[in-house]
Amino acid sequence: MEIQIQRPIEQDRIPTASGPRPERKAPKEEDLGTFGKKKNATAVALVEAGHGVLRVNGKPLNLIEPESMRLKVYEPIFILGGNRFKDLSIRVRVSGGGPMNQIMAVRMAVAKGVVAYYQKYHDESSKRELKELLLQYDKGLLVSDSRRCEPK
């Protein structure tokens, strides 16, 4: 009679539907995630120290569709001034909702991301100044729209 010893399964070697689990990237020292919502659209912005790059779903801002709404995404940049964005890199992922709601979610995520970055890595007075500028222009840049879809 032979006794077999079973070894415990290593977590990294558990097969999944998509293959082995990918390694998670360690967060950088100076990066920050924020989100913006409009109806069913959700945008997540990752703000980090960089070279003034703004990308939405991997595309630069000047390629955003629909073209008529591109100016809406530029609003936080125009209001706060390009100098505040020159040392930041912002990557935004957006999904759900329609094209207009996605654009509104992106502009909210970018605005909230810059304010949060200045709060965490700069002084409180500059954060308050940014927040006041954005609220004077449009409250929708920082405050989420409460409308959501109702269940059937």
pLDDT (tens digit, 9 = 90+) per residue, 78-118? 999 888 888 899 999 999 989 999 999 999 999 999 999 99
Q: How many residues does the chain have?
A: 152
Q: Which CATH architecture has domain 34-140?
A: 2-Layer Sandwich (3.30)
| Prediction pTM value | 0.77
Tokens matching residue 63: 């390629």
Tokens matching residue 48: 């980090």
Please give the span between the terminal C-alpha atoms of the chain, in angstroms, as a whole number.
63
Tokens matching residue 32: 């920050």
Over residues 28-50, mean pLDDT: 88
